[in-house]
Amino acid sequence: MEKSRVSVAYNNHASGYNCAQSVVCAYCDLLGMDEKTAFRAAEGYGLGIAGMHETCGSVCAMIMLAGLKNSDGNLEAPKTKLNTFALGREMADKFKEKNSSIMCNKLRGTDGVTDRLRSCRGCVVDCAQIVEDTLFLGQFEPYDGPMD
């Protein structure tokens, strides 16, 4: 069993990666993508998609990873699209169960401190744990680091 990469996602965020980059870059190598490409691909999803405080960037990252893991990559006749939608929805639902929303503006609150539901780094941790529990079940040891 491999050591959990939740701490990698956590440390990515602490190093300046946005929330989406933090999660995608922690697992991209397992899904055939180099870190620089993953970093570039996820850049626009931070702070609730392009800083608009819509869907949490960490949630977007989980769904991006679900596509990388599940897609058949068949450009002419894709057959995995609906299954990937269901997988992404399952992951988003797990996050919503834990945090009551997937919307950045609700999670962060009005000022990012006093009325927030979850910190950005906490969202990164939650999403990384969901990725490990859903996309890589049984591959990683349980995470026992900071939860922010």
Write down the pLDDT at residue 37: 98
Residue 57: phi and psi, rounded to 5, are -60, -35
Write down the pLDDT at residue 59: 98
pTM of the model: 0.95
CA distance 140 to 133: 8
- DSSP codes joined into one string, 41-81: HHGGGTTTTTTSS-B-HHHHHHHHHHHHHH----SSS---H
Write down the pLDDT at residue 112: 72
The parts of the chain modelled with pLDDT lower than 50 are none
Angle, alpha carbons 121-103-90 (nearest 5°): 90
Question: Can you tell me which residue has the tokens 């899904």?
Answer: 31
* Nearest to 20, CA basis, from 50, 34, 33: 50
Write down the pLDDT at residue 30: 98
Would you report the helix, strand and coil content of the chain in percent, each value rounded to 5? 60, 5, 40
